[in-house]
Structure 1
Amino acid sequence: MTIHHDDLDRDTRGERRERDAELHAPFLEQAAARLRDLALHGDHTLTRVDRILDIGSGPGLAACLFARYFPRAEVVAVDTTRHALTRAAARARREGLHHRVRTHHAELPRDLDTLGTADLVWAANIVHHLGDQQRGLDVLARALRPGGVIAIVERGLSPRFLPRDIGIGRPGLQARMEAAAEDRFADMRAALPGACATVEDWPAMLARAGLVPTGTHSFLTDLPSPLDAAPREHLHDHLTRQRVALGDRLDPEDLRTLDALIDREADTSILWRPDAFYLAAGTIHTARACAHR
Structure 2
Amino acid sequence: MTTDSTCRPQDIGHAPASDETIALGRLLDLDSEVLQAYLTDLTGWLAGLCERQPAHIVDLAGGTGTGAFALARRFPAASVTTLDLSPQLLHHLRKRASLLGVDDRVRGVQADLNEPWPPLDGADLVWAASALHHIADPGQALAQAFRALRPGGLVAVTEMDFFPRLLPEDIGVGRPGLESRLHAALNTRPPWDWSGHLVDAGFVAVATRPFVIDLKPPLPPVTGQYAHASLSLLRSHAAGLLAADDLAALDVLLDTDDPLGVLRRPDLTVRTTRTTWVGRRP
Q: TM-score range by the shorter chain?
A: 0.7 to 0.9
- The amino acid of 1:19's aligned partner reads L
Deviates more, 1:222-231 or 1:207-216: 222-231
Partner Cα separation in structure 1 for residue 266 and residue 82 of structure 2 = 38
Q: Which residue of 1 aligns with 2:202?
A: 210
Cα deviation per residue 1:38-89 (whole Å; 9 max; x = unaligned)?
01xxxxxx33422110111112232122223223322112111122222222
Query: Cα RMSD (Å) of the superposition?
Result: 2.4
Q: Which residue of 2 aligns with 1:50?
A: 55
- The amino acid of 2:44's aligned partner reads A
CA distance 1:277–1:119, shift in 2 (3 Å): same
Cα deviation per residue 1:168-220 (whole Å; 9 max; x = unaligned)?
3342222211121124xx5xxxxxxxxxxx99431122111111111112224
- Once the two structures are TM-superposed, the CA of residue 11 in structure 1 deviates from its matched residue by 4.9
- The amino acid of 1:142's aligned partner reads R
CA distance 1:104–1:253, shift in 2 (3 Å): same
- Once the two structures are TM-superposed, the CA of residue 7 in structure 1 deviates from its matched residue by 7.1
SS at the partner of 1:158? coil
- Once the two structures are TM-superposed, the CA of residue 244 in structure 1 deviates from its matched residue by 1.8
Map 1:94-243 onto structure 2 (within 5 A): 94-112=99-117, 114-183=119-188, 200-243=192-235
Identity of aligned residues (%): 34
- The amino acid of 2:26's aligned partner reads E
**Number of residue-to-residue matches in the alignment:** 266
Q: Contact between 2:61 and 2:82, CA under 8 Å: does it hold in 1? A: yes
CA distance 1:267–1:64, shift in 2 (3 Å): closer
**Partner residue of 1:70 out of 75, 80, 83:** 75
Partner Cα separation in structure 1 for residue 126 and residue 248 of structure 2 = 43
Cα deviation per residue 1:103-154 (whole Å; 9 max; x = unaligned)?
2111121143644531100011111111233332233223221010010011
- The amino acid of 2:66's aligned partner reads L
More helix by share: 1
Q: Which residue of 2 aligns with 1:89?
A: 94
SS at the partner of 1:159? coil
Partner Cα separation in structure 1 for residue 79 and residue 234 of structure 2 = 37
Partner Cα separation in structure 2 for residue 114 and residue 220 of structure 1 = 36
Q: Contact between 2:125 and 2:149, CA under 8 Å: does it hold in 1? A: yes
SS at the partner of 1:283? strand
**TM-score of the pair, normalised by structure 1:** 0.82
Partner Cα separation in structure 1 for residue 62 and residue 82 of structure 2 = 5
Q: Which residue of 1 aligns with 2:47?
A: 36
- The amino acid of 1:266's aligned partner reads D
Partner Cα separation in structure 1 for residue 194 and residue 233 of structure 2 = 29
Q: Contact between 1:169 and 1:254, CA under 8 Å: does it hold in 2? A: no
**TM-score of the pair, normalised by structure 2:** 0.85
Q: Contact between 1:27 and 1:282, CA under 8 Å: does it hold in 2? A: no
Q: Does residue 244 of structure 2 align to residue 252 of structure 1?
A: yes
- The amino acid of 2:78's aligned partner reads A
**Partner residue of 1:18 out of 29, 44, 61:** 29
SS at the partner of 2:174? coil
Q: Which runs of 5+ in 2 are unaligned?
A: 1-16
- Once the two structures are TM-superposed, the CA of residue 285 in structure 1 deviates from its matched residue by 0.9
- The amino acid of 2:180's aligned partner reads A
- Once the two structures are TM-superposed, the CA of residue 249 in structure 1 deviates from its matched residue by 0.7
SS at the partner of 1:47? coil
Partner Cα separation in structure 1 for residue 101 and residue 75 of structure 2 = 14
